[in-house]
Amino acid sequence: ASGAAGAAVLPLLGGDIVLLRHFRHATRRWHLEIPRGFGEVGISAAEQAKKELREEIQAETTRLTSLGVFHSNTGAATDEVELFLAEISGVGSPQLTEGIDAIQTRTPHQVAQLIAGNIAIDGSDLITDSFTIGAFTRAWLRGLFPSVGQASV
């Protein structure tokens, strides 16, 4: 709505991916997903990504890598989001006021399994969020998760 590009960020903590368990009113379901936010005028997408990490999981970024521009739904929406991979030094509490009730860490291989639609791990939901799938896929295709072999998903 602001005209500024939003940001979605795949956080890495010691090699594991940090996911949020987030209630989404549109689907009336809980989803496992990465932090993301709308763009704000005067704030770069990189700064927006860092801001979302601070707000949603109380994390500070030690390294931020752009994964490129992403359109979540080219048939119905015009919004543009920049995807990032962020190395973080730790996590705090989830932002309960935004409908986030838990922070989970998963190995890249586990995230690949949850995206592939295989059996959920430890009662976790499967990952169906387009931003999470897009960021993970871009990072994987760039060789950032070499332990996730192509044949293993």
Tens digit of each residue's pLDDT (9 = 90 or more) over 111-145: 998 998 866 666 667 899 999 999 999 999 999 88
- Supply the pLDDT for residue 123: 61
Is residue 120 within 8 Å of 126, Cβ to Cβ?
A: yes
72: pLDDT strictly greater than 80: no
86: pLDDT strictly greater than 90: yes
DSSP-assigned states of every residue in 104-149: EEE-HHHHHHHHHT-PPSTTPPPP--HHHHHHHHHHHHTTS-TTS-
- Supply the pLDDT for residue 97: 83
Measured from the Cβ of residue 47, the count of other Cβ atoms closer than 10 Å reads: 13
pTM score, whole prediction: 0.88
Percent with pLDDT over 90 in the chain: 57
Which pLDDT band, with edges at 50, 70 and 90, does 99 fall under?
confident
Which pLDDT band, with edges at 50, 70 and 90, does 75 fall under?
low
- Supply the pLDDT for residue 152: 44
Tens digit of each residue's pLDDT (9 = 90 or more) over 22-62: 888 888 888 899 999 888 888 999 999 999 999 999 999 99
78: pLDDT strictly greater than 80: no
